[in-house]
Structure 1
């Protein structure tokens, strides 16, 4: 999106490095770093020329982006083609979601804006071999996942573009048929046929005229919205991409309404610096509280077992010191970093995501806690011996 220019960092686990190299060779995006002695990669992606599919779906849903029915059909076709390309190379993606699909703009493509533009892009998948930790979804073939994702895209488009009077005529012949698709190759052939129906439909010219009328007034706000994004993001370069992403997600509805009302007044009244700071404080406090509560339970359980055979106790001061030390270590863990790949990991099932985060962190948390408790006991024992001497 024009005006959105910052890096996001995503972490993904993998099982087979040789296999991953093959998968990534067909899905080149951003900068990849292998983490030594860990089966994790760090992927840095700049958003200037890359669009996450799930973000694009939200932008369409909230009216930030104007996209034609023809573009939706081509997008679905390109997604299907990407999965077929994987199959032709004896590859699959068993953990595919709209969070892990990107539109990578080609070098000569225009940047996406609030006014209609026919962008040129490549479809790229990320997160190969990495389980969906936030909800423990079962593995399934990309050919199954992509049909489900295609239907999600169509539903978003259909719901948002009821404003077009002539879309209802196209709906009966296009959307209804796409909803029934189950097979990858049948869906591919179906979309080819539907694109021809769309272009030759008796209401096609009326639809294009209506579309262009809506696009004209959006062009008047194009520069203002792009400049607004640039100004907002420039204000907090020190903040991580996750917090910027979360803040932008919160603004999308307001921006969509501002476009419809043809005014930036509401957007100009917002204190963006404060908004981003509040988002960062919110998430830091949530994670700190989550880790502290669970670390405290483990520490007290371990000392309760020790107290049954000894008289060793732990003071509140030492207890808090141990919690702080353990939490500092656990924040370095890659499974925790994974949960901050994207705000979409947390949305919309925050409670389930929180439970899965703790479940995945628990082995590491228990290990670190046992280490700290054992060290504390040794320190107490040395102190006791010194006192006797």
Structure 2
């Protein structure tokens, strides 16, 4: 058991306790309040003068799939041999012993959605994982949380170099539609066969991977920067009645009214760094705030390793500098990504029954000089600064 005492506690449940205590037991938050008594044998952590937050969540990264300080040998993020690879699973490529996991823990990032990159139109399955552990199987929160798809320049560039389709935005949309239609037909044949195994269609691993998308069990995780690409993603999702989250959403501020009308969520970023391609020309840290004020639920992401995962609070701070409300910015890296990922029953806030993923900061984490004093994941102290 662990008792954190006398901290300023941002629960992300609407309460801010100026002198709050949090009791942790068996990997879960047991109690949140004031003047809690320390049970016998509990480790007591003094939070006087510090801020206690839920562990931060990066809703879009490639953590563990693109290893630190290494080239081809540690690059498992893009299978650039086929524009449609829905059967690929992030958990089969993640190396949890990569240095960047320690960086995440030291930076207060306790969980992330990580998965394939955007070289392919259909990239594969994103997973939600904790950032601490030696074995990926013990770190998984949900092994198939979303299906990565990509629009815009990346698939065009990769396959233009190979002199094959898709080389245009039209072809990118066509590849996605074709595979969703094939999956729909595959599902119908399975349903028609019923219990008669002789009538079942030949097993197709790719189509099997797409069935949860058609059944609305997992969303499409749509890489789209430019406004027209965002609108194409929305159009196709509506056509097939699938769930969708808008990833990057770089020009989302230009069509905030549409995104709000469609009741969609946005995972915005990385907004830091050089505009490396044309579709980033309207990139701005104002985007999260504009979408947030329009009523769109926003998470801020790093797209690690595009910017290092421990830079997540810095990205939120720069969004505040560009007009986003400070509390909303904190929510955009805690409770909002948890809700967008469908993980809010376990993650994103400090509440009895939720995972004890907690970070004690020496000052407001949006302060660029803030340092992590203690990181707790699943009720275990995994870092002390």
TM over 0.5: no
Higher alpha-carbon Rg: 1
Identify the structure with the greater helix proportion.
1
Identify the structure with the greater strand proportion.
2
